[in-house]
Amino acid sequence: MRKIGLREVEDIALGASLLGAGGGGDPYYGKLMAIGAIKENGPVELISPDEVPDDAVIMPIAMMGAPTVLCEKGTGGGEYKVIYDMVSQYLGRQVYAVMPMEAGGVNSMLPIAAAARLGLPMVDCDGMGRAFPELQMVTFTIGGVSATPMALTDEKGNSVIFNTITNKWTEELARAVTMSCGGSVTVSLYVMEGRTMKAFGVKGIVTRSEMLGRAIREVKNHPEKTPEQAFLDASEGYGIFKGKIADVLRETNGKFNLGRVQLEGIGEWRGHRAEVCFQNENIYASVDGEILATVPDLVCLVDTDTFIPVTTEALKYGKRVLVVGLKCYEMWRTAEGLELVCPRYFGVDTDYIPIEERVKGGAANV
């Protein structure tokens, strides 16, 4: 057990924006919520998965919908208590701790706000190790865990409990309600016991996020190497391309932000042109027509100077970015994992090949 205070929140938020892989929403607004909750209620206890009893009830907390909507309409602050009451009343059991389900993006922060407001510890574990656009895309689905009973509430006070036959149906029904509630709601899903969390969760992800955030902040404090090398070393990232944003094409299908960003090389690295496609998160990156990284590995864009991650909302013409690939959590590379999040699921006609193999023969500067 250790305490998560204001400094830790800053680092976790920064690391979470890298784990967001372009999506998951800028953690900035979530950070304000976490900071507000900690200032009112004191630091949050972060407990390691091992500290959780096998039969303790863990209540993951997340927002569902569009992070940009969350920024505009906000939350009422009372949602976590509503969710807590719904879950504990429905199960007839006490909740032991909260947990993030999605360590990337804004959903890294809301469980901290919830833990502070509810006076509960938060477990150092999530179900993605990154951000993904649909709720069945979690390691717990691989483990056969049901997303339901799922509790949902909006800032107005409407609340819904779902029980579905598959996690894809949870996604379908909860997404419909989320849209009707205005595009952003607070949820608890994959409520589980400690033993399940330990068996299928991405353990230590909050600490990893914090470490990544600190590394980005301190990237220039290494006299023995370039900031770029320091960043790649700390993130264990594979450099894919370095370039200037030449064009950003965006569309929305009502559910997701879709688009592609085109980059022109700036001479320092190999390759002339690169393209990164996104569906909320970045889906793949190609250099001179050759795909060098795909989901479920993380395709991240970071500022070439500050190494601060650039979310898809913040893409704009002329910005200089480094395209970096990070290995995904190992469970995503199994057949069961790829069934949920392979490139083809996102409409990209290629098999999944791990980033470390793709970049080996490719154009990347590794």
State the Cα–Cα distance between residues 131 and 343, nearest whole angstrom. 15
Rank residues 180 and 229 by Cβ distance to a copy of itself and give the closer one: 180
> Residues 69, 173, 211, 246: which binds a copy of itself (CB under 8 A)?
173
Q: Which residue in 54, 78, 81, 163 binds a copy of itself (CB under 8 A)?
A: 163
* Cα of 87 vs its chain's centroid, Å: 23
- Is 332 a residue that touches a copy of itself (CB under 8 A)? no
* Tally of CB atoms within 10 A around 7: 11
Helix axes 205-217, 6-19, angle to 10 degrees: 90
Among the residue ranges 165-173, 208-216, 301-309, 344-352, the one whose residues contact a copy of itself (CB under 8 A): 165-173
**Which residues, listed in sequence order, are joined to residue 193 by a DSSP beta bridge?**
57
Amino acid letter, residue 5 = G
Using rule CB under 8 A, residue 91 touches a copy of itself: no
* 158 forms part of the interface with a copy of itself (CB under 8 A): yes
Q: What distance in Å separates the CA atoms of residue 237 and residue 104, rounded to the nearest whole number? A: 16
Nearer to a copy of itself, 92 or 318 (CB): 92
| 88 lies in the binding site for a copy of itself (CB under 8 A) | no
Interaction residues for a copy of itself, span 303-322 (CB under 8 A): none
Q: Tell me the C-alpha distance between 186 and 200, whole Å.
A: 23
Element (H, E) at 99: strand 95-100
CA dist., res. 114 & res. 99, Å (int): 9
**Closest approach of Cβ 83 to a copy of itself, in Å?**
12
Among 28, 169, 256, 345, binds a copy of itself (CB under 8 A): 169
Total number of residues binding a copy of itself (CB under 8 A)? 19
350 near a copy of itself, judged by CB under 8 A: no
Q: CB-wise, 71 or 177, nearer to a copy of itself?
A: 177
Cα–Cα nearest to 97, from 114, 79, 78, 77: 114
Considering only 159, 207, 262, 306, the residue that binds a copy of itself (CB under 8 A) is 159
Candidate list 156, 220, 272, 360; residue touching a copy of itself; CB under 8 A: 156
* Burial class of residue 40, CB neighbours in 10 A (0-12, 13-18, 19+): exposed
Residue number with CB closer to a copy of itself (179 or 308): 179
Q: Least Å distance between CB 265 and a copy of itself? A: 45
**81 binding a copy of itself? (CB under 8 A):** no
β-pairing verdict for 290-294 and 57-65: unpaired
Determine, following the binding rule CB under 8 A, whether residue 69 of this chain makes contact with a copy of itself: no
Please list the residues that pair with 277 across neighbouring strands.
260, 284
Q: Which stretch binds a copy of itself (CB under 8 A): 101-109, 166-174, 310-318, 354-362?
A: 166-174
Smallest separation, CB 144 to a copy of itself (Å): 17
- Here the contacts of 231-237 (C-beta below 8 Å, separation 24 or greater) are 231/302, 231/307, 231/322, 231/324, 232/324, 235/18, 235/324, 235/326, 236/326, 236/327, 237/300, 237/324, 237/325, 237/326
Q: Which is nearer to a copy of itself, 89 or 350 (CB)?
A: 89
Site string for a copy of itself, 177-206 (x = CB under 8 A): x-xxx-------------------------
User: Does 353 sit near a copy of itself (CB under 8 A)?
Assistant: no
Positions touching a copy of itself (CB under 8 A) are: 156-165, 169, 172-173, 175-177, 179-181
